[in-house]
Amino acid sequence: MNEIREILPIPVGRSQPVTAAMGIHQQEAPFTPVAPLRAPDGAPNVVVVLIDDMGFGASSAFGGPCEMPTAEKLSEEGLRYSRFHVTALCSPTRQALMTGRNHHSVGMGVTTEMSTSAPGYTGFRPASAATIAQTLSHNGYSTAAFGKWHQTPPREVSPSGPFDRWPVGEGFDKFYGFMGAEMNHWYPQLFDGTTPVEPARRPEDGYHLSEDLVDQAITWVQTQKTLTPEKPFFSYIAFGATHGPFHVAPEWKDKYRGRFDHGWDDQREATLARQKELGVVPESAELSPWADVVPHWDELNDTEHRVAATFMETYAGFAEHTDVQVGRFVDALDEIGELDNTLFIYILGDNGASGEGGIEGTTREHLVGHGFKDSTEAMAQELDALGDATTYAIYPVGWALAMNTPYQWTKQVASHLGGTRDGMIMRWGNGIQQGGGVRHQYHHVIDIAPTIFEAAGIPHPVTVNGVTQQPIEGTSMVYTFNAPEAADRRRTQYFEMCGNRSIYHEGWTAVTRHGTPWEMVPEGLPSFDADVWELYDTGRDWSQAHNLADKYPEKLRELQQLFLIEASKYNVFPLDDRVTERENPEVAGRIDLLGDRKSVTYRAGMGRFTEETTLNVKNRSHSVTARVDVPEGGAEGVLIAQGGRFGGWSLYMADGHLSYAHNCYGRDLYIVRSDEPIVPGTQELALEFHYDGGGIGKGSEVRLAADGKIVGKGRVDQTTAYYFSFDETLNVGIDRGTPVTDEYLPVDNAFTGTIHTVRIDLDDDGHDQHLTATDRQRMALAHQ
């Protein structure tokens, strides 16, 4: 039977009677019913839960301060893996997870927004690398994905598709979630399959995205087991938490009040001690060196202490809330009698903890993302609001370093373990004989797929849909389940991200850090040849605390050569350290959906267009023209809006006046309004945006017009330079998600008149004439 399962899809047998009569009443030989496709006997259900942006030392299951009772329970009934590795960024880890191949092998060398035309960086999964979902679906499993899906090329995230790289095109029968890097947990913009949907409830009704995702997952599993109880399922739940923005109800944050007043230095010491008690690091483990560009806790003043501690309280509450939702799903499996028959894989981070909040942290992620520091004094005035819909927070770098205890550095840094080592738990009541253990074998996220296939009794496919498959590069972990002392089967693994790179081989690691992750608009990076390599013997030095490069130069050279071999094998070259520049499709060398178009006409009801699927109005003159009917008594609401509360623009009616709002990074809000209310009748209402030029993010003169007559003037002193939002979109006739301005309500802000068309026109003054050479190299800010 395994030979049959190597060719997918498995041919479905047809009834072949010896003879067939003219009519059914004369048919003597019976027809054999077509049998449904079945999974191998004893194949378990499979659940993969993935937490976003959580470091090795964050969860209580791995010694951290964030209480995660579900992770603890699953580890007590299953196994903790102490040397499990990911890729240092989200899209690459997810592509590697889903395919069982290294991320460059499947075109995802960086996040989808930073893809290029180089083979290892295209952002396109090749058909020769089928996903876990495709393989399991073709072997008789029901399949569903819930939450974050950050693997589709951005230009394909539109109503025009194509949809073969959406979850429903990559083997999942069901998808409910979001398509980008991050999402507002109070006002998410979601898809059911490929159809945009809005949550039925609002934050004031108790809505939260993580709860919604688990509600959906529970209902789906219950339905599958009600209708087809003999059929195993694969459920992939990828939370947006604990990625920024940190969004959680006050009671979760308040639970941790005062718990982090001791600061990140002391927290590292406490976490390491607890990790030793749990056995997830050896007694000999030391704290790795602190990043010397980050202040120690005793170097902060009282206000900085208070702000930083509150950020960590919010994060810890966010993490615990997420884990409790996982617990609800576990309880649902137990209730229907399927928990022990489920291989449950709980991955506590797709990369290390994120330092993208900068040294101070931020309540407005997009502000820091554009290279500006958030004001500690201003943040101190809004600490009570942290976690609610008015904030978009990420904690300071110091907490990210502490959440990666005992390892160095953070997310993005593929050279050091702080970016690549995360906690992972497996529970399988029917397959793991004794729970509560720790496994120290060296493994990588590409090992998850072959582990699932071996547990299910399914061979690696040779062909899928007629396409010969490239070898799975992962190694099954099943050998570790009941043999705690088994020798490592993964002896070598390379890592690379944005020029940060390392190589592991038989206990030794050679590493080189190329950039600093929280410098979101980097300048002056060294050449790759100038990078300084470090050497660690992790067989004796668990946490990379002692650099041995000077002591063993020959060993270092040996590993550097091995990196070149592995990198050549897996499409890592050419190394690319561009961060912001690669967000620009033209510079990056990928196809832009709109190409050279300078004008787009939208109609009422259109929307949910990401920044990659609409015209780029930043850093240039442009106009927006809406043809509308204004009813007697005037009109209210949004004509067109892009982005939201933390960055964007809107053309709308307020108290009968035509109005334009430009929200710059969630910090500066500029509003221009018509002098008089707009009269009823058919109108052509227009915005004229006259950009100053001379660089990016400069000012603009704004004019508002009705039927060609100027009805209002104003100025925007600073405009958005790189991106409006990663989670919000452009919509016609309504501002979905959070509002660009609080002059109108979230959700209930639809235009009360009639919209015929809304047209955006880019001026022919030439986008690039406003940009310096440096600006052109940074055209849009990458986000992971």
Q: What is the CATH number of the domain that holds 350?
A: 3.40.720.10
Give 3-state DSSP helix, strand, coil % of the chain, rounded to 5. 25, 20, 50
626 and 574 in a common domain: no
Last residue of a domain, one of 559, 585, 611: 585
> For residues 312-323, b (16+ Cβ closer than 10 Å) or e, as one string?
bbbbbbbbbbbb
Bridge partners of 712, per DSSP, are 704
pLDDT computed for residue 518 by the predictor: 82
Backbone angles phi, psi at 545, to 5 degrees: -90, -20
Q: Supply 54's token pair.
A: 């959580």
151 and 81 in a common domain: yes
pLDDT computed for residue 35 by the predictor: 79
Q: CB of 482 within 8 A of CB of 433?
A: yes
3-class secondary-structure state, position 706: strand
295 and 401 in a common domain: yes
219 and 185 in a common domain: yes
Distance CA 342, CA 344 (A): 6
For residue 735, being part of any structural domain is answered with: yes
353 and 225 in a common domain: yes
Q: CB of 585 within 8 A of CB of 591?
A: yes
pLDDT computed for residue 276 by the predictor: 98
231 and 111 in a common domain: yes
For residue 487, being part of any structural domain is answered with: no
Q: CB of 385 within 8 A of CB of 393?
A: no
Torsion of CA 706, 708, 712, 714, to 10 degrees: 130
Q: What is the DSSP string of 34-45?
A: PPPP-PPTTPPE
* Number of structural domains found in the chain: 3
688 and 739 in a common domain: yes
Q: CB of 387 within 8 A of CB of 314?
A: yes
For residue 25, being part of any structural domain is answered with: no
Last residue of a domain, one of 479, 509, 540: 479
- Which one, of 572, 589, 577, lies nearest residue 527 by Cα? 577
For residue 448, being part of any structural domain is answered with: yes
Residue 536 maps to which CATH number? 3.30.1120.10
599 and 580 in a common domain: no
DSSP letter, residue 703: E
- Which one, of 120, 142, 85, lies nearest residue 495 by Cα? 85
pLDDT computed for residue 523 by the predictor: 67
3-class secondary-structure state, position 666: coil
For residue 282, being part of any structural domain is answered with: yes
For residue 721, being part of any structural domain is answered with: yes
pLDDT computed for residue 765 by the predictor: 60
Residue 635 maps to which CATH number? 2.60.120.200
Contacts 24+ apart (CB under 8 A), 11-16: 12/37
Q: Supply 631's token pair.
A: 């009813």
For residue 761, being part of any structural domain is answered with: yes
pLDDT computed for residue 573 by the predictor: 98
614 and 552 in a common domain: no
Alpha-carbon distance values, 595 to 26, 124, 610 (Å): 64, 19, 15
Mean predicted lDDT score pLDDT of the chain: 94
Last residue of a domain, one of 450, 479, 508: 479
Backbone angles phi, psi at 224, to 5 degrees: -60, -45
240 and 222 in a common domain: yes
Alpha-carbon distance values, 517 to 70, 252, 322, 354, 778 (Å): 31, 29, 25, 9, 15
604 and 464 in a common domain: no
pLDDT computed for residue 590 by the predictor: 86
The ranges of the chain with pLDDT < 70 are 1-3, 13-18, 520-523, 580, 765-784
164 and 66 in a common domain: yes
Question: What is the extent of the structural domain holding 658?
Answer: 592-777
- The verdict on pTM exceeding 0.85 is yes
Distance CA 714, CA 701 (A): 6
For residue 14, being part of any structural domain is answered with: no
